[in-house]
Amino acid sequence: MGSIQWNYEQRSAEVDVQRALYSAELLKSRQNRPLVKPTLQDTQATPTQIELFELVGRDSYEYVEALIRRLPSLRQREHFRKLYLREYRSVVDDGSIAFSFGQKQLFQANTFIRELLEHRLGKVFSQYNFDLAWLSMSLSEKWQWALEQGRAYQDEHYRTVVGAFDDVARERETDERKKKLPFYLMTENKLSVIADHLSFLLRKIQTDFFTEQANTGKAFSDAEIQAMVVDIYRRCGLLCEKIGLSLPYWATFPFNDGDDDFVPNMKSIEIAINKSQCEKFWLKALKKAQKQMVEHLAIACGEVRKGVAPYISDKGFGEWKAQKKKNFEFLDRMILQNLDDEEEQVELLEMYKRSCSNPSVRHQEMMNCLNGIEQWAEENGHEALFLTLTAPSSFHAQHSKGGENKNWSGASPKQTQAYLNKVWQHYRALLKKRAIKFYGMRVAEPHHDGTPHWHLLVYVAKEHVDEAIALFRKKALEVDGNERGASEHRCKVERCDKKKGSATAYIVKYISKNLGGKNVAHISDEVEGLSFKDNASRVRAWASCWGIRQFQFYGVSSIGVWRELRRLAKGQCTDEVIEKVRVGADLSDYAFYLDEQGGGGATRDQWKIKLVYENTEENKYGQVNKRIVGVRNTLKDVAEWVKTRLKKWGFVPKSRHQSEESEPSNITGRSPAWTCVSNCNPKHSKGSWNDIGDYLDNYLQQNAVKVDRLKMAMGWRGIDANSFNKSHIFSLIQGGEVQLLGKDYISFDGNEVQICRKGGFVN
């Protein structure tokens, strides 16, 4: 009997045909079968849950719910359900059987939600190490913790204290820790409570430490006192680091602490300790960190991209617009008053419109400076280069044409900006090392997913052009320079061609679309259909959120000197050098001004004219700021300078009459007194809150000695007087009690502050 030859290819084709026929029959039968929608047996289900259940069925619904169940907020879970539905419906019908049965959509949506929660969001969460256990402690727990830590600091080495804190944290690291409210979902009221508790705890620790040292009766030398201040700063800094926060100056201190030649900046440490005791400082830091974390998560979730919300999430953009509205309302409510002549007043909003804070005015100033720089460069035979610097692909959350970047490292726009700035610093160092002078302007703008990139207008001497280009390519591609498309997209170099337009024309588009200004009606090249005006608004919101400086001149004289010279009037200055440059500035001739100041690429020590500053009074943190008061000729004695700020102005609220003149309204009632203190005594009246505020101001001024004595007594007890408002101070002076923490109250007998608890004194 002969052997039977089996044809595998033929048999495979027959099986495929049979499967196709079976699938077609099954699909036809399902289509003819009456549709019975499954029902979700959950009376509290949201409309989105019901929609999800009816679309994907029970098994897939329970899979999705299991993934997002660990998220503590209904709002957050609802957000991810909507993302899942959007991804499910984004799958295009390719005519396949998998699509007909919904398997292709399920696979893509399930993969999307799983990777989003476990992979992409994990990269973001790992960068924000807030201790939810500590943040979730009750008032009594934090109070007891402060007492224990304060005593421990008196005797133990700071590492022992940190170890004790670690023990507390480890005890709370259970499954319940995951159920704590995430930091990025905490309300402003919750953040305010945390800020209040943290400032109180640090103040308590510091007060106990220094009180114990003072009670020893030992006379300490200056060196010993400094060592103690550094020690308590170190301890507080380590504790804050464990919580996930950072003290001022902490970015520098830990890396050098312990080195034999390290001399800590005592003024910076003093300011940091003062700030650590302030609730407002911590609240501001917490709100900023939360805002950036929320925006970072939005980037990871794909909420920041073209077609959805370019550059910044809609939530972040809405908050920026709301804050901008508040700022304008403040400007409209205030006037500037000459402190030496109260009759001279100017509306603050009008001054804003005329200043460089106004985007339109700033746009005009930038264009004038750029035209002057270009004119000076042409007169000196220098060539213009237009450079574009982009970060490696791992910094981008989305691809340029859309779609998630699987290789995204989790970098935020702030981290990408730091990378670009580092590349720029290294590039400048190479040019300086080779004695290549350079000058121009750079613009930072975002890609559609919020990742920043830079455009630079660089002027160099013609003989250095090739070397400048080679060095730029070298530094721009130093990291991941071999990745696909790096040489094409990450470092673009154009030699500005006068036949195509001026060098300034190469960069003016990027100024307009990122700053805005008058008569700007072009369409963005980054996001299709977005006007320059709308583009500029979203970019400014993006820059505000991440603290990114959008525009910067380099290698040219200070724009501050230019502005101060334009303040001077003819005949006000007797110095011939300053007067000569002043005339050029007054005529808006920036090329002449630049030439007089040493030209493009001149260093600060080559400038003929510099700014003169005066120190302001110390603020409550001990900080001394600098304020511009004039300009000076660097060739003359430092004591000889020209005053440009002839008047001192202060902010004063508009009176009711002034407000009605600027914006008519139907509001009637008694106008508040123009002076800070009212001569009326509305103690028994039913006046407005302004009246009550005036009365409190009046009372506290009349009893200033008692107020000072009360604040001094609070300081002796380690209590921050700044955490109490005027009503609290009034009540304490009147003999009342004010709540401190939990069941603890304070009272004042005219000499000392007593801390008491319901049922008896604490100490």
Q: Which amino acid is at 669?
A: G
> ∠231-235-241 over CA atoms, to 5°?
140
- Asked if 510 is an active-site residue, the reply is yes
- pLDDT band of 754, cuts 50, 70, 90: confident
673 pLDDT higher than 50: no
Which of 593-602, 612-621, 662-671 tops mean pLDDT? 593-602
Rounded Cα gap, residues 103 and 95, in angstroms: 13
The residue-averaged pLDDT of 389-404 equals 92
What is the per-residue pLDDT for 97?
A: 81
* Sheet of 452-461, strands arranged across: 491-495, 382-389, 452-461, 439-446, 551-554
352 is known as an active-site residue: no
Q: For residue 455, what is the enclosing H or E element?
A: strand 452-461
Q: Sheet containing 341-347: which strands, arranged edge to edge?
A: 341-347, 334-338, 649-653
Residue 166 confidence (pLDDT): 47
484 near 392, Cβ under 8 Å?
Answer: no
pLDDT at 32 over 70: no
What tokens appear for 644 in the block? Answer: 């440009």
pLDDT confidence bin for 678, thresholds 50/70/90: very low
Confidence class of residue 159 from pLDDT cuts 50, 70 and 90?
Answer: very low
Q: Rounded to whole angstroms, how far apart are CA atoms 654 and 612?
A: 32
Check 510, 590, 593, 699 and give the catalytic one: 510
Query: Does residue 417 contact residue 546 with C-beta atoms inside 8 Å?
Result: yes
- Which is more confidently placed, 288 or 142? 288
Quote the CA–CA distance of 569 and 583 in Å, as a whole number. Answer: 9
What is the pTM for the complete model shown?
Answer: 0.74
Q: Give the integer Cα–Cα distance in Å for 245 and 130.
A: 7
Confidence at residue 663, expressed as pLDDT on a 0 to 100 scale: 52
Better pLDDT: 269 or 180? 269
Provide the 3-class DSSP secondary structure of residue 21: helix
Overall average pLDDT of the 643-657 stretch: 83
Of 518, 552, 517, give the one whose Cα is nearest residue 536.
Answer: 517
- In the DSSP assignment, the letter for residue 395 is G
The Cα 762–Cα 743 span in angstroms is 10
> Which residue, among 214, 202, 192, 184, has the nearest Cα to 284 in the 3D structure?
192
Q: Please indicate whether residue 66 or residue 761 has the higher confidence score (pLDDT).
A: 66
Report the sign of the C-alpha dihedral through residues 585, 591, 596, 600, in that order: positive
Dump pLDDT digits (tens) for 434-456: 999 999 999 999 999 999 999 99
Residue 509: band (very low, low, confident or very high) from pLDDT cuts 50, 70, 90: confident
Q: How confident is the model at residue 172 (pLDDT cuts 50, 70, 90)?
A: very low
Q: Is the pLDDT of residue 763 over 50?
A: no
Check: CB of residue 56 under 8 Å from CB of residue 113.
no
Non-local CB neighbours of 698 within 8 Å, separated by 6+ positions: 677, 678, 681
Question: Residue 116: pLDDT band by 50, 70, 90 thresholds?
Answer: confident
Question: How confident is the model at residue 733, as a pLDDT?
Answer: 82
**Alpha helices, DSSP H only, in 481-531?**
486-489, 503-515
674 close to 658: Cβ distance less than 8 angstroms? no
Of 245, 190, 234, nearest in space to 209 by CA: 234
61, 427, 459, 506: the catalytic one is 506
Distance CA 696, CA 681 (A): 10
Predicted pLDDT of residue 25: 73
Average model confidence (pLDDT) across the chain: 82
pLDDT tens string 234-284 = 989 988 888 889 999 998 887 777 777 888 899 999 999 999 999 999 999
Amino acid at 242: K
What separation in angstroms does the CA of 617 have from each of 249, 626, 715? 21, 9, 22
Q: Between 131 and 71, where is the model more confident?
A: 131
pLDDT at 163: 45
**H helix runs in 498-575, sequence order:** 503-515, 532-546, 559-567
Give the best-scoring range by mean pLDDT among 225-239, 642-656, 688-702: 225-239
Q: What is the mean pLDDT of residues 558-574?
A: 92
Judge whether 702 and 683 are in contact, CB under 8 Å: no
**CB hemisphere CA count around 179 (13 angstroms):** 4
